[in-house]
Structure 1
Amino acid sequence: MLRPLSRRVLLAAGLAAPALITSRNARASTEVDVELVLAVDVSRSVDAEEMEMQMRGYAEAFRDPRLAEGIAGGPLGAIAVTLFVWSDWNIQHTLVPWMQLDGAASCARFAAALDGASRETYLYTSISGAIDFAATQFGQRFEGLRRVVDISGDGVNNSGRQLAAARAEALDRGIVLNGLAVLDRTPQPSALLAGLPPVDEYYRDEVIGGPGAFLMVAEGYESFSGAVRRKIIREIAALPAQGPLVERAYG
């Protein structure tokens, strides 16, 4: 009785093999130098004008020829990028899904997608929620030599779970957390009354982490465009050990 049973098992395995191969091929990922997740703060401290400055700043960064040159200089000559906006612990909206960038033309397409993306703002500031959401975005279509989350914002975590826990879990998964802190020239009165730390110090001490992690500080939203351009160029082109921990951009 064992011999016929063995034949049936082998036959079943043989019939299943093509399905397994097809499934693996469907999940095959394209290798890139960096998987870069751009996480953009749209909490209530970001007004309509500042939101437009952020989106325009990202679009201008991807139109900068130095960015395409930086991509070309990588080992594989390609990166993958996606962008989502975040606010409350349960609000994260992907505006531009994953795209492979391997030259000026694809960078221009990403910039055009940003031009056409919705502009939206919400209420609270959940950096922990943004990190948790960003961590789930990796490995969907691409496999990067590095996985980087670029978190931009102008406030501290005030929604969702503890930031330290979200940060630790992301770092344990090998994700690098970089920050782009915007120093708002007109901070919310509630922040002043609560005695909260300066946003740049908060991002430096509580948000960024991982090999080569760094913080870019925009001195006001009018400095955002230059800050994001310098930041992304550094993220895609530099070795993890290069560059200062904190850089500043002035309008």
Structure 2
Amino acid sequence: MSTYLKKMARHASAASLLGLAGAFAMAPAVQAAPVVELCLAVDSSGSISDEDWRKQIDAYLDALRDETVVPQTGAVAVSIVPFSTFSQVSLPMTEVTSANVAGVITDRLTALRSARPYSTETAIGDAIAKCVRTFTADSSAKRLIDVSTDGVNNEGRDPELAANEAVNLARVSAINLLGIGDEVKQGEAELKKIARPGPAKQMGEGPGFVKIVDEWSQFKDALRAKLKAELGTPGLEVRKTNLRDSVKPGESLTYTVTITNTGDAATGVSWTDTFTGLDVTGITGSASPNSNAGNCTPTGCTDITVAARSGSVSYTVTATVTGDAGTKAKNTATVTGGNCSATAPCVAVDEDPIVDPTTPTPKPPTPPTPGAVTPVPTTSPEGLAALALMVVGVAGWAARRRGKGGRRGK
């Protein structure tokens, strides 16, 4: 081969290798498959008013947009199946990522909000069967079906049979139900027959639960709690109090901070204590079984673990009031970790007015004893008037007695 041809071959080989390397460099990273696939079966039957239908869809939008409720990492995928007499797939199984939430998931739910698929009856069994068809074939993801309804099944397939087929033939791990209103209260036993694995449980006791709320105004919070429970999301809540209505300069105070968990275990939790009008002198913690109060300084605590479902940690915060009378003593606990993100922390505030220490605190009057005569104070105008009338009366009576006695002596 000529020198020229050898050079060309070397350049071509180098170019091929560079092109191949570039192809690998440009290829997008492969995203891990979802670990949970969740089908949301949404009741659109005739018993739901248009206003309540919008509340229902708005609640789903709110929950899916909140990464503390549904992680936006692609670890969870959702499908949406509205149902009444008939069922339809409005959103095929779609990974929950920030891009998909901002795009296709919001678009489909917004379209449902304004163009409701309406019919009269409630076919829960058909909705479960339709949900099964949305799961990804050959996926190893955990499969969940989530039903929200204001009624019991009155159309289509037997929901118990559909639930059994979903579990036994389609590898569905759990079917959970959220009921709204009087009809499901009366028919709660029917909903419990559908929950899988049976027997039906209360929310927070494990998969296969039924949750009932009184009205649609409670649906949003109940849906968020249900999604957290079935997706294994921690449900942390924080409270702070010193059991006082007012405080005084220089006074020593004790605050109690309590963090409770209604969801799965939360690790790596921390909380910070910020304050005005106070000097915090110490924080000590205690924990329920399987929880850990972490490491504390006067500004907060780190490395906290809160056990699943009713686990709690509690802290005693000691402080001295440094603010002046007329200002306020404010103490704020801010929790991050678990479902409390840096952008949406869980916060509890205790704020009390600082009052003048020389101002006596008025005491409420002592209530009279039943049946007792309440004395009238003689220093009041009413008391003096009553006393004067009594004196005049007694003097008149005495004069009459003297007059009668004088006549008998004559």
What's the CA shift for 1:159? 0.9
Could you say which residue in structure 2 is the equivalent of 1:6? none
Q: Which residue among 96, 102, 105 is the counterpart of 1:108?
A: 102
Could you say which residue in structure 2 is the equivalent of 1:26? none
CA distance in 2, matches of 1:208, 1:59: 24
Could you say which residue in structure 2 is the equivalent of 1:178? 176
Deviation by residue 1:68-100 (Cα, 9 ceiling, x = unmatched): 4x455xxxx511111111111xx1122222211
CA distance in 2, matches of 1:42, 1:34: 25
Aligned sequence identity (%): 27
Deviation by residue 1:175-207 (Cα, 9 ceiling, x = unmatched): 1211111124xx5xxxxxxxx97243432x212
Letter of the structure 2 residue corresponding to residue 50 of structure 1: D
What's the CA shift for 1:135? 1.3
What's the CA shift for 1:59? 0.5
**Structure having the larger proportion of residues in strand:** 2
Question: Considering only CA atoms, is the larger Rg found in Structure 1 or Structure 2?
Answer: 2
Q: What is the TM-score normalised by the length of structure 2?
A: 0.43
What's the CA shift for 1:243? 5.1
What's the CA shift for 1:124? 1.0
What's the CA shift for 1:144? 4.7
Deviation by residue 1:147-189 (Cα, 9 ceiling, x = unmatched): 00101101111111322211211121321211111124xx5xx
Deviation by residue 1:9-39 (Cα, 9 ceiling, x = unmatched): xxxxxxxxxxxxxxxxxxxx97211111000
SS for the counterpart of 1:98 is strand
Letter of the structure 2 residue corresponding to residue 219 of structure 1: D
Letter of the structure 1 residue corresponding to residue 165 of structure 2: E
SS for the counterpart of 1:207 is coil
Matched, 1:200 2:202: no
SS for the counterpart of 2:46 is coil
Q: Give the aligned length.
A: 194
**Residues 59 and 112 in structure 1, CA contact (< 8 A), matched pair in contact too:** no
Could you say which residue in structure 2 is the equivalent of 1:49? 51
Q: Which residue among 94, 98, 106 is the counterpart of 1:99?
A: 94
What's the CA shift for 1:208? 0.9
Q: Any gaps of 5 or more consecutive residues in structure 2?
A: 1-30, 198-205, 234-263, 265-307, 311-410
**Residues 131 and 167 in structure 1, CA contact (< 8 A), matched pair in contact too:** yes
**Residues 183 and 200 in structure 1, CA contact (< 8 A), matched pair in contact too:** no
Question: Comparing both chains, which one has the higher relative contact order based on Cα–Cα distances under 8 Å and sequence gaps of 6 or more?
Answer: 1
Matched, 1:219 2:207: no
What's the CA shift for 1:235? 2.0
**Residues 182 and 218 in structure 1, CA contact (< 8 A), matched pair in contact too:** yes
* Equivalent residues in 2 for 1:149-188, closer than 5 Å: 149-172=145-168, 173-175=170-172, 176-184=174-182
Letter of the structure 2 residue corresponding to residue 198 of structure 1: Q
**Structure having the larger proportion of residues in helix:** 1
Q: What is the TM-score normalised by the length of structure 1?
A: 0.68
SS for the counterpart of 2:190 is helix
**Residues 39 and 134 in structure 1, CA contact (< 8 A), matched pair in contact too:** yes
Could you say which residue in structure 2 is the equivalent of 1:192? none
CA distance in 2, matches of 1:170, 1:177: 9
CA distance in 2, matches of 1:181, 1:67: 20
CA distance in 1, matches of 2:193, 2:94: 29
Deviates more, 1:31-40 or 1:167-176: 167-176
SS for the counterpart of 1:143 is coil
Could you say what the CA RMSD is over the residues aligned between the two structures, in angstroms?
2.6
**Residues 84 and 96 in structure 1, CA contact (< 8 A), matched pair in contact too:** yes
